A = this chain, B = another copy of it.
Amino acid sequence: MIDFNPLEWDIINSKPFQRLRRIKQLAWTDYIYPGAMHTRFEHSLGVCHTATRLFDSIVRKDAELLRSEHGFDDAGLLRQKQIIRLAALTHDLGHGPLSHTAEDCLPFQGGSEKRYTHEQYSAAIVRYELADLIENHPSNKNNYGIKYSDISSMFEGGLELGRSIVWKEIIAGQMDADRMDYLLRDSYHSGVTYGRYDLDRVINTVCLCEDEDGSGHVIGIEDDGIHAVEGLLIARYMMFTQVYFHKTRVIFDYHYGEAAQHVLSSKGGTFPAPTKDGVKEYLAWDDWRMLSEITANQNDLDCKAIRARDHHRLVYHTPECPSLDDLEAFEVAEERLKDLDVVVRDATKSWYKYQREEIRLREARSGKIRSVPLATRSPVVNGLQTVNQRRIYAAPSARGEALRRLEES
């Protein structure tokens, strides 16, 4: 059972949040796993629930430390909990139609070569659309005095974080509530057997750990939660290799990216920037609208590829973790097909960030407590090499010729 307070209900009932009902969580994944029709709406409620459980577990365990070293008192902890819940609810508001798939249509940041991120849109929506609701809501104003930037800085980063920085990883980190929710939820609706892990155990063993320098604290895991965290990381590895990087999904993402740019072409090929006015316009885009436009666009080839499932087909690929030989062979194949109607897509994912960003483990041995990096204890985590699969897809008309050339070689 998930309980919400009046402020949270008002946010849930707001237009930007209800829009998430019309943003599918997994874009085209239902073309491979037909059940995967769930939305960012459902996910955002789930992240709020899981973030709260993580917070409560840490406070139950490390209240003493939070008081003595970080200056939290009872009121401060309650306020922090409210901030975390609001950040969890709002962290995905900035997703465009079909979630991540739309990210290539976000504009470049003023002059730079870097596109805006969906987190920046989330922050802008909190700022321009929800700040008034949040800051003047009776249940916030009199009790917590939370500013909109207290919330958005949780997922956007920035100086405003202050001591909240200890908590940031609940919203954005290697063990964050977002990941904990989406793995289980995506697995459930897709109907696959991957993606499951022991959430209860992770929550029961999460704790504060000394950071690498011994100068502060980060969110880590107790000694006996090590296999639960391994389970979480492996679940992610499995979902990426089996679902998110599925060969058919990857090419639909490509066609969609092209199609969306064509739909947006009269507006410069991108969504509006996350300014006050831009955000308003951006929020008018959701899956319903984009898919209708794609349906209506009779002449565009990418729109047609999506509509008629007349998409490019995989004709060549390396293993997921290719050797240098594999990569060379790929380039040869690419060269051989270069005059045909083909596209190359790379599925790349680093499963785990080592070194400074490593998940830390709190070990108690012979009465002493210390904090060590997870990879020093878990050979499995150490083995999670970056996936870097390269693939060539050919248009239906070019497929026969492409296969012929490749077999000849």
Contact = CB atoms under 8 A, between A and B. Distances in A.
A278 interface: no
A260 to B, nearest CB: 15
Contact of A379 (B34, B35, B231, B321): B321
A13 B366 contact: no
A157 interface: no
A352 to B, nearest CB: 11
Interface in A291-313: 291-292, 295, 308-309
Given A196-B196, A288-B288, A238 B242 contact: no
Interface in A2-29: 13, 15, 18, 21, 24
A334 to B, nearest CB: 13
Given A227-B194, A292-B288, A295-B289, A406 B366 contact: yes
Contacts of A90: none
A244 interface: no
A256 interface: no
B39 A38 contact: no
Contacts of A198: 192-194
A59 interface: no
| Residue from the set A41, A194, A231 with the largest chain B CB neighbour count within 10 Å | A194
Nearest to A361: B319
Q: Is the contact region of chain A dominated by helix, strand, or loop, or is it mixed?
A: helix
Contact of A295 (B42, B288, B316, B384): B288
A18 B309 contact: yes
Nearest to A37: B37
A204 B193 CA distance: 14
Can you tell how many copies of this chain the complex includes? 4
A216 to B, nearest CB: 25
B35 A200 contact: no
A164 interface: no
B37 A38 contact: yes
Which range contains the number of A residues in contact with the other chain?
35 or more
B200 A366 contact: no
A67 interface: no
A377 interface: yes
| Residue from the set A18, A35, A227 with the largest chain B CB neighbour count within 10 Å | A35
A35 B41 CA distance: 9
Interface in A194-252: 194, 196-201, 204, 227, 230-231, 234, 237-238, 241-242
A206 to B, nearest CB: 13
Nearest to A230: B238
Contact of A227 (B42, B241, B319, B407): B241
Interface string A367-409: 1000000000101111111000000000000000001001101
A176 interface: no
Given A35-B189, A379-B384, A227 B242 contact: yes
23 contacts: A1-B204, A13-B309, A21-B30, A24-B37, A34-B38, A35-B38, A37-B39, A38-B189, A192-B198, A193-B231, A194-B198, A227-B242, A230-B238, A289-B292, A289-B295, A319-B377, A321-B379, A366-B407, A367-B406, A367-B407, A379-B383, A380-B380, A381-B383
Given A30-B39, A34-B41, A194-B198, 14 more contacts: A35-B38, A37-B189, A189-B189, A193-B197, A193-B201, A227-B238, A227-B241, A234-B234, A237-B380, A288-B295, A289-B292, A320-B377, A379-B383, A383-B384
Across chains A and B, which 6 residue pairs bring their CB atoms closest together, nearest first?
Answer: A383-B383, A193-B198, A379-B385, A37-B37, A34-B42, A292-B292
